[in-house]
Chains A and B, each alone.
Chain A
Amino acid sequence: MDKKTVTTICYLARLKIDKEKAQKIENDLEAIIELISELQNIDTSNVEPLYNPLEKTALKHNDVIDSDNQKEKFLDNAPSSNEDYFLVPRVVE
């Protein structure tokens, strides 16, 4: 775990780390990676990954409308909106 890797994953995660905390974060990540690297000692050849304890595929809904349009209710929580849309800074110049 070096500075360059930390910078890359910070960008991928859309996070910025304060300069004074950068070294601490780097050390912490290093320690956590060291912990999870212990798994390399376990033989998992021919073992299927278990992504969910139930091993079931997700249930499907019938495609029916079961509630009203609650646009206003949802737009109420938006940091910025007009009567129809969530507003964000201009994307296309």
Chain B
Amino acid sequence: MSIQFKSILELKSMLNSKTISSSELIEETFKLTKDLKDLNCFVTMNEGSAKQKAKQIDQGKYKNNSYLTGIPLGQKDLFCTEGLRTTCSSKILSNFIPPYSATVVKKLEDSGSITIGKTNMDEFAMGSSNETSFYGNVHNPWKRSYVPGGSSGGSAAAVAAGIVPASTGTDTGGSIRQPAAHCGITGMKPTYGKVSRWGMVAFASSLDQAGPLARSAEDCAIMLNEMSGHDLKDTTSLDVEHTDLLRSINNPIKGIKIGIVKEFNLNDLDSKIQEKFQDSKKLYEKLGAKFIKISLPNISASVPTYYSIAPAECSSNLSRFDGVKFGHRSRDSKDLNDLYIKSRSEGFGDEVKRRILIGTYVLSAGYYDAYYKKAQQVRRLIKNDFESAFQTVDLIMTPTSPNTAFEFGSKGAQNPVELYLEDLFTISSNLAGLPAISIPHGMVNDLPVGLQLIGNFLREDKILNAAHVFQKNSEFHLAKPSLEDF
């Protein structure tokens, strides 16, 4: 029986009924990774350890039996994995083997899941098309010459191609939700602080958050249940009770209030994308939701705010890559300063350099107040806008991305800002620390389109409930790419 395109729950039921053993499941998964090697989803495979763990599970040596026991997962290549190369899709970390695992990886592995490999991504998560990876582009499973989105492009493509039922991603400005939308799967960015960032290579520490990419909202809830939790090793981790997200997932959504942002002029979007949005609104109305127009007066400032704050934090975080303690070191440096400059210049790609330079600029004397501090002030205004809106609505609905996936090389090559504007709908929830999901809601020009639901602080339960009810009443999330080009 094929395991391709199966959800976590379907695979779990096959394992429980002994239709398949854990070892057979892992064997089949690696067969798929080889058959679909051209997608370029993975940077490093974990075949030996994965097969060994599956065998232990089959032999009953693994005590835990959670939803994820025996389930194969992809881990984005910016989570440290003990003994398994972690590159962030960068040349500078091409030889880095972490001495420890990220909390997220450890929690998922302790629940019995099996890491099958590290997924390709934009270098250091900087990009929204997966074109900045040192290890080459990931292809969109729906159309080979199209981007999968980014930065978690490998994680999204691996799930969309049915290789793994779920994978981990990280989202700093849309890096889970946008590739999920472009690949036709479900992806969730949780509330800032819900999931530990320990062992996750930092890009912009006040915006980064790890989350799941999966075939359904229900599978995202299963993943997030295991990933969440207070962690003393992450000083921004939330010390709150994390409720079981499956408990309320089937609740009726009659009476739920959904906000439509009046500042987002959806008429500017492609008419077919508008049509999908209206169709989904109608479906929600049929299910009992009430739509309310809300105002987020500062929302149009979210892109410039983000592109000041994120590069500033990136320039600071990436100063640790200096060729001294780990990672790439240039071979011919005459002194220590030369070693720093050459190692960094050889190790980083163009987009990463661009962002480090912008960050250095906005943090430098004379510009700090005008750009960096200013952006943090606007950030508060954006957060305040959301706080007011959530006094009247339960959720806010927007498209995930203004466009479908685009062809390789067609955007941002002349001017990077063109690509930055693609993040319009996703960026504000990172600035405000709010949870948000992208669910597939149809196809435009044979490419998937995503619908975004943003929730209030720590209300992942409401988001997942609304997303799951939508998926129980539609079949968009069940669509599968033919993969005939691969």
Please give, as numbers and ranges, the residues of chain A lying within 8 Å of B375 by CB-CB distance: 36, 39
Q: Which of A27, A40, A48, A89 has the most CB of B within 10 A?
A: A89
Q: A12-B364, A14-B341 are in contact. Are A39 and B378 (CB under 8 A)?
A: yes
Residues 230-261 of B, flagged 1 when their CB comes within 8 A of A and 0 if not, give 00100111110000000000000000000000
A31 to chain B, nearest CB (A): 5
Docked CA distance A87–B299 (Å): 49
Question: Residue B156 at the A interface, CB < 8 A?
Answer: no
Name which residue of chain A comes closest to B374, CB basis.
A39
**Residue pair B238, A88 in contact (C-beta under 8 Å):** no
**Cβ of A74 to closest chain B Cβ, rounded Å:** 6
Chain B: CB-nearest residue to A24: B350
Q: How far is the CB of A46 from chain B (nearest CB, A)?
A: 9
Note all chain B residues with C-beta closer than 8 A to A37: 304
Q: Which of B317-376 contact A (CB under 8 A)?
A: 319, 322-329, 333-342, 344-345, 348, 350, 353-354, 356-362, 364, 370-371, 373-376
Given the contacts A16-B341, A25-B357, A77-B325, A50 and B304 also touching, CB distance less than 8 Å? no
Contact indicator per residue, chain A 56-67, by CB within 8 Å of chain B (1) or not (0): 101101000000
Instruction: Tell me the complex Cα distance, A25–B306, Å.
Output: 20
Q: Is B433 an interface residue (CB 8 A)?
A: yes
Please indicate the chain A residues that have their CB under 8 angstroms from the CB of B361 in the complex.
5, 9, 29, 33
Query: How many of chain A's residues touch chain B, expressed as a range?
Result: 35 or more
Cα distance A91–B325 in the bound complex, in angstroms: 16
Picked from A35, A39, A56, A74, the residue with its CB within 8 Å of the CB of B420 is A35
What is the minimal beta-carbon distance from B123 to any residue of chain A, in angstroms? 14
> Please, which residues of chain B bring their CB within 8 A of the CB of A44?
374, 377-378, 381
Are A53 and B206 within 8 A (Cβ)?
Answer: yes
The answer to whether B53 has its CB under 8 Å from any CB of chain A is: no
Q: Does B142 contact A (CB under 8 A)?
A: no
Q: Is B293 an interface residue (CB 8 A)?
A: no
Contact B380 A48 (CB under 8 A): yes
Give which listed residue, B232, B341, B377, contacts A47 with CB less than 8 A.
Answer: B377
| Partner-A contacts on B (CB < 8 A) | 96-97, 99, 192-193, 206, 232, 235-239, 298, 301, 303-305, 307-308, 311, 315, 319, 322-329, 333-342, 344-345, 348, 350, 353-354, 356-362, 364, 370-371, 373-381, 383, 415-417, 420, 431-434
**15 A-B pairs (CB sep. < 8 Å):** A6-B357, A12-B360, A15-B341, A25-B350, A32-B420, A34-B417, A35-B303, A36-B305, A39-B371, A39-B374, A52-B206, A56-B236, A73-B99, A77-B96, A89-B338
Knowing that A42-B298, A76-B99 touch, tell me 20 more A-B residue pairs with CB under 8 angstroms.
A6-B357, A13-B360, A14-B322, A17-B353, A25-B353, A25-B354, A32-B358, A32-B416, A34-B417, A35-B307, A38-B301, A38-B304, A42-B381, A53-B431, A54-B433, A73-B99, A79-B326, A79-B328, A89-B333, A90-B335
